[in-house]
Structure 1
Amino acid sequence: MIDRLDRLSECLAKALTFLAGVFLVCMMLLACANMVFRAMWAPIQGTFELMGFMGAVVAAFSLAFSQRQKSHIAVGLLLNRFPQAVQRMTDALTSLISCLFFIFCGLETTKWAAFLVQTGELSETLQIIYHPFVFATATGCFALSFVLCVDTLKILTARKVQ
């Protein structure tokens, strides 16, 4: 069961990372186009706004993959001196608390996006709906919490966490 969850978390993380890459390429193309248009004629309206929205999606969609690859900063100077069992339980507790935190973040972000839908709020410059970007950010938080939950289960069942 844990192996299936692990494969699912891997597929989810890779899919979201692929989408993050697509958004990053769009950001690069928009930035380059804005520079060219600014030099030749006039800048593209709303570039800053779109870059912010897409940047949030890139960051959120990259979280799960980053956790799976353990590409974040971890400080283990003090923890490495404790017995292996204490290290495992500390890792499990840290993963569980982080999982709960990102579930909370995802829920609150989803509530905010639902509020934006309800009120019909539009972006300031382009006057476009932007709640899809907020929902996407919540999705990134939920994906990270899923990966953290799987990590917690792997630690508690003594399976190797990448």
Structure 2
Amino acid sequence: MFKLGKIINRITVIMSLISYGGVLAIMVLNVADVLLLKTLSRPITGAYEITEVLLLCTVMASFAYAQSKKAHINVTLFIKHFPRIIKFMAYGLMGLLSTLTAVAVGYAAILQALSAISRGAQTNVLMIPLYPFYYIEALTMFVFALILLYDTVIAFAAIGSRKCEKIVISTWTG
């Protein structure tokens, strides 16, 4: 099971590269846009809409990476004081709910992509088709859901395993 975790972590490195690349592209684009506007009075055409679509991909890709690094906040103020079975059952159920939510968002992104294809939706200035960005969103949300599911299985396994318990509570504060 822990070997699967290593494979999932490798996949999240790809998600982090998408996120890092998006942030870098947004920064370079916006700095260049402002410089050209202020020095030559010639902004980059479509810079705002490029930023919009890059931001969508960047934010969604960061979710999977943050989850793999346990960077999301878990409010365990009360739950950590519960008896072992209740504690990890509740934590696992919340993980399952989070997983289902991520799957629903990924599915909605696919539906949005299909709608964008059928409508021929594109950006207003540069006429960039929108559907590829929705597919990237769906992919990143499904990877996020995979990581959440893995963490959920570990949480449920912590009910009977001290090794899994240590993994789960290692990210809890206090």
Normalising by structure 2, report the TM-score: 0.87
Instruction: Tell me the equivalent position of 1:107.
Output: 107
The residue number in structure 2 matching 1:119 is: 119
Query: Corresponding residue for 1:12?
Result: 11
Identity among equivalent positions (%) equals 23
Bigger Cα displacement from structure 2, 57-66 vs 152-161: 152-161
Greater relative contact order (CA < 8 Å, ≥ 6 in sequence)? 1
Q: How does 1:38-77 map to 2 (within 5 A)?
A: 38-41=37-40, 42-77=42-77
Residue segments in structure 1 that go unaligned for 5+ positions in a row? none
Q: What displacement does 1:80 show?
A: 2.2
- Mapped to 2, the partners of 1:6 and 1:30 lie a distance apart of 36
SS in 1 for 2:76: coil
Larger deviation, residues 43-52 vs 73-82: 73-82
Letter of the aligned partner of 1:10 in structure 2?
N
Deviation at 1:97, TM superposition (A): 0.8
Runs of 5+ in structure 2 lacking a partner? 159-163
The amino acid across from 1:29 in the alignment is V
Match of 1:31 in 2: 30
Cα drift, residue 38 of structure 1 = 0.3
Q: Which residue of 2 aligns with 1:132?
A: 132
Q: Distance in 1 between matches of 2:3 and 2:118?
A: 37
Secondary structure (helix, strand or coil) at the match of 1:6 reads: helix
**Match for 1:14: what amino acid?**
V
> Map of 1:86-105 to 2, 5 A cutoff?
86-105=86-105
2:157 aligned partner, one-letter code: T
Following the alignment from structure 1 to structure 2, what is the Cα–Cα distance between the partners of residues 22 and 104? 26
Shift of residue 118 of structure 1? 2.3
CA distance in 2, matches of 1:103, 1:143: 9
Residue 21 of structure 1: CA displacement? 0.6
Q: Which runs of 4+ in 1 moved over 6 A?
A: none
Structure 1, residues 43-80: CA drift from partner, whole Å, max 9, x if none?
11111111111111111011011112221222222212
Residue type at the aligned position of 1:141:
M
Secondary structure of residue in 1 paired with 2:5:
helix
Q: Could you tell me the TM-score, scaled by structure 1's length? A: 0.93
Separation (CA, whole Å) in 1 of partners of 2:18 and 2:62: 9
RMSD: 1.4
Q: Distance in 2 between matches of 1:153 and 1:4?
A: 14
